[in-house]
Amino acid sequence: MGNLQEESDLNKTIKISARRFEESPYIERTDSPKMVRGVYAGRYFPISIGEDAIEKYWLLRQKALIFDVPEKPVEISGKDAIPFLEKILTRKISSIKEGRGYYSLACTPQGGIFMDGVIFKFSDNKFWYVQADGPFEDWLLAHSENFDVKISDPKSRVLQIQGPASIDIMKKASKGGIDESMPYFRSGFFNLGGQDLYVSRTGFTNELGFEIYSDGYKTDHLALWDHLIECGKPYGMELSSSRAMTIRRIEGGIFGNLTDIDTSMTPFEAGLGFFVNMDKGDFIGREALSKKNKGTCLFGVTCATDTPTSGSKVMEGDNIIGHITAGVPSPTLKLGIGYVRFYEPKEWPGKKLKLKLPNGKIHDCNVVKLPFFDHDKKIVKGLDRSIPKRT
């Protein structure tokens, strides 16, 4: 089950009990009669607030946006935290330094991707794994037997400030505590408007950006929101739903768990083999992965005449050889783009194929390597601070 956010999804809504899922503590500031919510990791989040997604996209690329996101930190603590996480995750955990984040996967015993997210080290006995969509807390509990660990929900809600102005905004919000010297994928505690909060230089857009983690019930969420909004005003920052983020994350080659990657796909098939440390010792899925093909099946596709949508078929002649997991219009490239999952690994990039949309119409498409642009990630690393022009 994916977490799709395509144009048609805004009209596929149903009534549901509001207490079934976790409400955002920022809802008093973000609510709108036009809001359409999604559910992700058991949390509500806005997939639309009636805004022009393309206008918000350009604000993201030229100034900054603030997002109320549903990604969920899970705390793993106790004297066996490191050996337990070595068993669960594909990355080597014992070498992580405090204040460092690692993108890491959790695999099934069969080698499929169960979860992706970022692991942060607070101490040898305390870590946070900021998970994507899916029941990861239950997964951790199910595998914790014989380990002296505690799996808990710190009740942390996450805000993202993304875009080229994000460093200036965070510098102002932290009274200079955060500046250009904070490297990509680093983290720490900072005072934001009188509240000490965890902040990481990460995000879900491949733009320069930060994530701010609340401290559960100890945090005055509305005061934090008001502080960040006030600091962002001089730089043109605005609130956005996740629609602009979805466009930019696909352009940036960032996958959505359960949408683009899932348990039926290995990290190698997803092109994520770099994040699997086969030499670190045993972990869930290692034996299965040692026998798997290392070829990649997940790539990008571009189309000049329409936008790929989930469920579209990719064809070579009359043969269906793959399908689209998610697609968006790219305002920067002026093309329709999406992820194509091929049914067998080959050297697909550079091939010209056919795209058959759900409405039956067929278009030419090209297979490309990911991300769709900025292959060296100079933007997100802060090495390219140029402001793109809207064309």
What residues are paired with 127 via a beta bridge?
76, 121
pLDDT of residue 257: 97
Residue from 68, 31, 63, 44 nearest 160 by CA: 68
Nearest-angstrom CA–CA distance, 224 and 227: 5
Quick one: pLDDT at residue 369?
Answer: 98
Tokens standing for 292? Answer: 């798997």
The answer to whether the beta carbons of residues 225 and 192 sit under 8 Å apart is: no
Q: What mean pLDDT is reported for the chain?
A: 95
Place 13 in a pLDDT band, splitting at 50, 70 and 90: confident
Instruction: Give pLDDT, residue 391.
Output: 78
CA distances from 90 to 77, 107, 114 (A): 19, 7, 11
Can 7-68+155-250 and 73-152 be said to share one CATH topology?
no
Has residue 14 got a pLDDT over 80? no
- Are 232 and 169 within 8 A, CB to CB? yes
Residue 310 scores a pLDDT above 60: yes
- Compute the average pLDDT of residues 244-254: 97
| Residue 370 CA to its chain's centroid (Å) | 15
Half-sphere exposure of 124 (CA within 13 A, CB side): 5
Q: Domain-by-domain residue ranges, the chain? A: 7-68+155-250, 73-152, 296-386
pLDDT of residue 20: 80
C-beta neighbour count of 237 within 10 angstroms = 24
- pLDDT (tens digit per residue) in 336-372: 999 999 999 999 999 999 999 999 999 999 999 999 9
pLDDT bracket for residue 270 (50, 70, 90)? very high
| Mean pLDDT value across residues 188-211 | 98
Among 9-18, 92-101, 145-154, which is the least confidently predicted range?
A: 9-18
Structure tokens at 251: 């352009």
pLDDT value at position 142? 97
Please give the class, per CATH, of domain 73-152.
Answer: alpha beta
Whether pLDDT at 39 is above 60: yes
Give per-residue pLDDT as tens, 56-99. Answer: 999 999 999 999 999 999 999 999 999 999 999 999 999 999 99
Q: Would you state the pLDDT for residue 347?
A: 95
Would you state the pLDDT for residue 17?
Answer: 66
Q: Which fold has domain 7-68+155-250?
A: Gyrase A; domain 2 (3.30.1360)
- For the domain made up of 296-386, the CATH class stated in words is mainly beta
What is the pLDDT, as a whole number, of residue 228?
A: 98
